[in-house]
Amino acid sequence: MNRSDFLKTSALAGAAVVGRPLITFAQKSTFRTALIGSGWWGMNILRCAMQAGESKVVALCDVDGRQLTKTAEEVGKLSSDRPKLYRDYRELLSREKPEIVIVATPDHWHPLIAIEAMRQGAHVYVEKPIGHTVNEGRAMVKTARDTGRVCQVGTHRRVSPHNVSGMEFLKSGKAGKIGMVRAFVHYAGGPGQRVPDEEVPKELDWNFYCGPAPLVPYNRTIHPRGFRNYLNFANGTLGDWGIHWLDQILWWTEEKYPKKVFSTGGRAIKQDNTDAPDHQVAAFEFEDFTAVWEHRQFAGNNAEKTHPRQAVGAYFYGTEGTFHMGWLDGWTFYPADANKPVIHQDAKLDKPDDQNIALLWTDFLDAIKSKRRPVCDIEIGHRSTNAALLGMLSYKLGRSIAWDGEKEQILNDPEASKLLSRDYRGEWQYPV
C-alpha cells in the first residue's frame, strides 16, 4: 500500500469508528513530527499520527539501533517520509526543530526529554506515567505553562467511546452515590526464572538507556518492554497500569487528589530478575469515598474475569448498584435491585492493541491548532501519575502518608518527602 492508499484506508477506518466526517486535505496542516523512544508503543502512536495525515515524520530517536531500523522501515513502507535517525534526543531537537515530539521511552526518561522538547518549542505527546517521581511531574507542568506548549499525556481511556459514555452514566448519578471504587489488574503468571546478565548488544547504548537512573548490568529482561517491572526505571504494575484506572477515578470524582495513601504488597511468587511487587494493594482515602487498587501477576483470577481474556478495570460501588468500567468488555451496570435489568455498553477500540490513540491524537492536533488545553493535559496526567506514584512511595516506605495535594507535599514525614524526588546519575540534572 502506498502512502495515499494508506491514508485513505486509515482515514476511512477512523471515520467508521468515530462516526465523524472526513477532514479534507485542504484543511490540514503538516507538523514536523519526531518520535523519541521508537519501541512498541511509540510506533503505535506514530502510526496514528501518520494516519491522521497532518504529520511529516522528520526524525526518529532510539538508543537501540535495532529499534530505529525497524521503525524507520515501517515509516518508509507507510509513507514517503524518510526521517533522520538519532541516538541522542538533544541532537535531534536542536537540529530538526520538530513542531511535535512523541515521547515513548521507558518512564525514567519521560521528564527530561519532554521538558527539553517543550523548551525547544515542540508540542509534546508524552506517555504515561509522566515520570518516575512526583517532583519531575511538577517540573513538566511548569515547563508546559512557561512555554505555552500543548502537552498531551497518553491516557487514551479518556477518549475511548465506552469510557466516555460510562463516565456520563456515573456522573449523571444513575449508579447513585458512590462510596467506594476498586480498581484492579490481574494477570496469570508463575515464579519465572532468573536470566543471567549479558554483554550489551553492540547496537544498544546501554549507558544512555539507563540515563538518569542507576547504571545496572544489561539484562535482556529489561529491554525491550521489560523495564516496567524494574523499579530503577519504572514503578511496577501500579505505575504502568494503575495510572490508567486511577485516572478514571480522578476523571469521575470532583476531588483532585487523595488525602491519605497506604500500600502494601510484595513478591510472594516471582523468582525472576524483576524487583517490582508481584501483588499489591493500595488504599486511597478521599474526602467522600475510598479507592482501592489491587494487582496480582499470578493466579489468573478466573473467578473475577470480566472478559474471557482479562480481569481488569474499576468497580464503582453506588447506592443504586455496581458499575464496572472495563477495557475489552466495555462497561456494565449491575443494579442493586435485582429486578432491574443489567445495562451494558460494548467497547469500540482500534487495532492493533485495542486502544483509541487515534482519537487522542485528533484531540492533540485540535488543541495545538485552537491553542487550548488537550483532553489529557499534562496537569491531569500529573495528578493521575501522582496517585500511582504515591501508592508506590507508601509501598517502598512501608507506612501510610498524608498528602497535601494543593502544595504537593507529604505532611510531617521528612523521610517520605525525600522520595518525591530521586538522585540523578552523572551529567543528568533533576528537573525543577
Ligand X SMILES: NC(=O)c1ccc[n+]([C@@H]2O[C@H](COP(=O)([O-])OP(=O)(O)OC[C@H]3O[C@@H](n4cnc5c(N)ncnc54)[C@H](O)[C@@H]3O)[C@@H](O)[C@H]2O)c1
Contacts to ligand X by CB under 6 A: 36-42, 61-64, 67, 89, 104-107, 109, 127-128, 154, 156, 208-209, 211, 223-225, 240, 355
Distance in Å, CB of 414 to ligand X, minimum: 30
Distance CA 160, CA 11 (A): 17
Angle (deg, nearest 10), helices 357-370 and 3-18: 100
Distance in Å, CB of 67 to ligand X, minimum: 4
- 48 CA to centre of own chain: 16
Distance in Å, CB of 272 to ligand X, minimum: 17
Distance in Å, CB of 270 to ligand X, minimum: 19
- Beta partners for residue 129, in sequence order: none
Distance in Å, CB of 211 to ligand X, minimum: 5
Q: Which is nearer to ligand X, 63 or 100 (CB)?
A: 63
Distance in Å, CB of 123 to ligand X, minimum: 18
Cell of 218: 544489561
Q: What share of the chain is helix, strand, coil (3-state, %, to 5)?
A: 40, 20, 40
Neighbouring C-beta atoms of residue 264, cutoff 10 Å: 15
Q: Which is nearer to ligand X, 208 or 424 (CB)?
A: 208
Distance CA 143, CA 390 (A): 22
Distance CA 61, CA 87 (A): 5
Q: Which is nearer to ligand X, 211 or 318 (CB)?
A: 211
Distance CA 388, CA 263 (A): 10
Using Cβ positions, the residue closest to ligand X within the complex turns out to be 39
Distance CA 148, CA 179 (A): 38
Q: Which is nearer to ligand X, 158 or 262 (CB)?
A: 158
Q: Which is nearer to ligand X, 311 or 360 (CB)?
A: 360
Q: Which is nearer to ligand X, 37 or 258 (CB)?
A: 37
Q: Is residue 217 exposed (0-12), middle (13-18) or buried (19+ Cβ within 10 Å)?
A: exposed
